[in-house]
Structure 1
Amino acid sequence: MPEPYIRHATPEDEGTLIRLDRDCWSHQHAVTPRPDEDAPFFGKRSGPLDHLIAEIDGRLVGYVRLGFPTELVSNTHVRQIRGLVVAEEARGKGVGRALVRAAVDEARVRGARRISLRVLGHNTTARTLYESEGFAVEGVQPEEFYLDGEYVDDVLMGRRL
């Protein structure tokens, strides 16, 4: 499989991103209900420029969403990965790693000093990826979520830029 091409999202990507989100939704990584087919992907808090897209052979196969952890001015030096999705057929092929690296680079370009994220405790694949890219566990909120009949930890991770 060729290397993924990473770019910023455009408004024209919305329909494909909606389908990707619905196709990849799982309590393995999502704390919210499955997205509705007619729900918009982009919103006030996260527009196209807050998303980096991975394409292989012109096909959208993943995205990472960057945002701020809070709306406080005193927290604007930090960016947060607020979502990472890779299509099933592209998993294990370096797409997630390319997106994480692109998010780190984008955070630097935007002047951030730190980047953080939250990941569910049972999502060992994502946690392993983040750790291999320099993220460290900075806190754990035990049994923070009740998903699919189980209590799940919320793991807070971050790194300096």
Structure 2
Amino acid sequence: MQQTYIRPSRAEDADALARLDRETWSTLHSVQPRPQPPYEPFFSERFGPRDHLVAEVDGRVVGYVRLGLPTPLAVNAHVRQILGFVVAEEARGRGVGRELLRAVTEEARRQGARRLTLRVLGHNAPARALYESEGFAVEGVLPGEFLLDGQYVDDVFMGRAL
């Protein structure tokens, strides 16, 4: 695998990002149903290119992270939340996710945030280990919050100071 390039997303990334979402869909990290045609556009009024960083290897999009506000409240404006995080199967275990996580942490700082938070499914051990290795700590757990593939799964809230 060549060097990873992390950059802000562009409107023309929409198809590649939508395809990546469909290819990587799993109950390991998603509580949404498997995407079915006709597919929704990747970018929306709520989340556009401005809210995403993408990872490229050899000119191909292999991952993204979505950063946003956890609430619309002014009293919460100092916090940013990771609202989506995907790495292509063939790029996993090669540092792409770590580079995206470090880049989004820097972007949150650049935006003036003092905290960065995320939610992860309790059974997603690889993601949880990555987040912990990058300074995130478990700040709360909603036990059995989701029923996925016949199993109750915890919703784990993690955060870190910036």
- For normalisation by structure 2, the TM-score amounts to 0.97
* SS class of match (1:126): helix
Q: 2:55 maps to which residue?
A: 54
Separation in 1, partners of 2:43, 2:73: 22
Q: Cα distance, 1:73 vs. partner? A: 1.0
User: 1:104 maps to what in 2?
Assistant: 105
Residue aligned with 1:155, SS: strand
Structure-to-structure mapping, 1:66-85, within 5 angstroms: 66-85=67-86
Tell me the alpha carbon deviations over residues 60-118 of structure 1, each in whole angstroms, 9 at most, x when there is no partner.
Answer: 00000001111111111000001110001000000000000011000000000000000
- Cα separation, 1, equivalents of 2:98 and 2:35: 25
Between the aligned partners of 1:127 and 1:146, the Cα distance in structure 2 is 19
Question: Which residue of structure 1 lines up, in the alignment, with residue 35 of structure 2?
Answer: 35
Q: How many aligned positions are there?
A: 161
Which residues of 2 match residues 4-153 of structure 1 at below 5 A? 4-37=4-37, 38-153=39-154
Q: How many Å separate the matches in 1 of 2:35 and 2:52?
A: 17
Normalised to the residue count of structure 1, the TM-score between the two structures is 0.98
Q: Which amino acid in structure 1 is aligned with residue 2 of structure 2?
A: P
Following superposition, the deviation at residue 3 of structure 1 comes to: 2.4
Task: Give the aligned residue type for 2:58.
Answer: D
For residues 9 and 36 of structure 1, the distance between their equivalents in structure 2, rounded to whole angstroms, comes to 24
**Percent of aligned pairs with the same amino acid:** 66
Letter in 2 for 1:93: R
Which segment drifts farther, 71-80 or 115-124? Answer: 71-80
Amino acid in structure 2 at the alignment position of 1:20 = L
Counterpart residue type for residue 19 of structure 2 = R
Q: Matched residue of 1:2: which SS?
A: coil
Q: Which ranges of structure 2 fall in alignment gaps of 5 or more residues?
A: none
Q: Secondary structure at the match of 2:14?
A: helix
4+ aligned runs moved over 6 Å, structure 1: none
Give the match's secondary structure for 2:109.
helix
Q: CA deviation at 1:16?
A: 0.6
